[in-house]
Amino acid sequence: MTSTAVAEPPTPPSPLPPSASWTPIPYAADDYWERRYVERVDEHTFEWYGSFKKVGDAVVAALTSTSLRLLHVGNGNSALPEQMWSLGYTQQLAADISPTVVARMAERTKQCIGLDWVVEDATKMPHADCAFDAVVDKGTYDALSTASGREQALVAEVRRVLRTDGVYVLISSLEATATALGPPFWREGEWEVSRTGVDTGLGGQCWVICAIKRLPQLAGGGEAHSRSKGPSGMAMMAAMATEAMATEAMGSTAVMGMPIDMKHVRSRLRRCGFVVPCLTP
């Protein structure tokens, strides 16, 4: 009898070596962006989520006037500020954490009087409270959301530097980003949110989210910006102080049991445009 050789099953392919495995891009790491712009010396501009031709109409529709004091957070080398300047927005500050890209873009737009550039961290901005009428964010929220909690720090800072009724124009790849401006991270009524879907071409889509900063209604009725009179004025001011502080402390209500410097609170709320009585403790 002649034996017949049986073919061995094929050997499964060996796993990829560690060096060839996929590594997530660290979009939320500050040093990533500086390295990116240093390496890409020939990349003059780059647009996340579509060009101005695609998203411009929705962005401009969210802004009420060309005279707004406007801040771009994490702008990178997007030409959005330059294109908005050409439409008459001449009070713009474009910020990014990369000194390389800020220097490059400042040189590129040096003829745009009223469009300034600055190096800063969008989660720890140096600006005064209520310093801007509008903040534009084209992908920065999405980048920071890849690291737990950093996007919440961004929104807290945006809310702080926006005046009441100012608008946060957030361009995101995810429709669900709009829901992040409500509970559980932000109390009901802190943002009035609407969104517009934009076809970016080649089957892609992004969302232009318009979030208007509101001061939530106080417990017991009445708006936070209403006038306070008589003996109840101090209680109203304390409630206003709690609202103002809590909304800028990522939802914390720990200030309830702490002493409140009323002089500081009055000064702070006046800067935000509220009618604040001068009360005697």
Residue 272 and residue 208 share a domain: no
Q: Which of 70-79, 112-121, 141-150 has the lowest mean pLDDT?
A: 141-150
Q: How many domains does the chain have?
A: 2
Structural domain contains residue 1: no
Give the type of residue at 74: G
Q: Provide the pLDDT for residue 249.
A: 42
223, pLDDT greater than 80: no
> What's the mean per-residue pLDDT of the chain?
77
Structural domain contains residue 11: no
Q: How far apart are CA 170 and CA 179, in angstroms?
A: 12
Instruction: Say how many C-beta atoms besides its own lie within 10 A of residue 231's C-beta.
Output: 7
Q: How far apart are CA 81 and CA 204, in angstroms?
A: 23
pLDDT-derived band of residue 243, with 50, 70 and 90 as boundaries? very low
| Higher pLDDT pick, 45 / 264 | 45
pLDDT-derived band of residue 275, with 50, 70 and 90 as boundaries? very low
Structural domain contains residue 26: no
Highest mean pLDDT among 96-105, 188-197, 207-216: 96-105
53, pLDDT greater than 70: yes
Q: Provide the pLDDT for residue 269.
A: 52
153, pLDDT greater than 70: yes
Residue 203 and residue 238 share a domain: no
Q: How far apart are CA 136 and CA 172, in angstroms?
A: 11
Q: Which domain holds residue 236?
A: 218-281
Tokens describing residue 218: 């106080």
185, pLDDT greater than 90: no
Any idea what the CATH number is for the domain that residue 184 is in? 3.40.50.150
Rounded mean pLDDT of 9-23? 47
Rounded mean pLDDT of 9-32? 62
Q: Provide the pLDDT for residue 52.
A: 92
pLDDT-derived band of residue 202, with 50, 70 and 90 as boundaries? low
Give the domain-ending residue among 174, 198, 213.
Answer: 213
Q: Provide the pLDDT for residue 13.
A: 43
Residue 85 and residue 170 share a domain: yes
Residue 94 and residue 189 share a domain: yes
Q: Provide the pLDDT for residue 25.
A: 85
121, pLDDT greater than 80: yes
Q: How far apart are CA 65 and CA 49, in angstroms?
A: 24
Q: Who contacts 249 (Cβ-Cβ below 8 Å, separation ≥6)?
A: 156, 255
Q: Where are the alpha helices (DSSP H) in 40-164?
A: 52-62, 80-85, 99-108, 140-144, 150-161
Rounded mean pLDDT of 83-103? 97
Residue 181 and residue 104 share a domain: yes
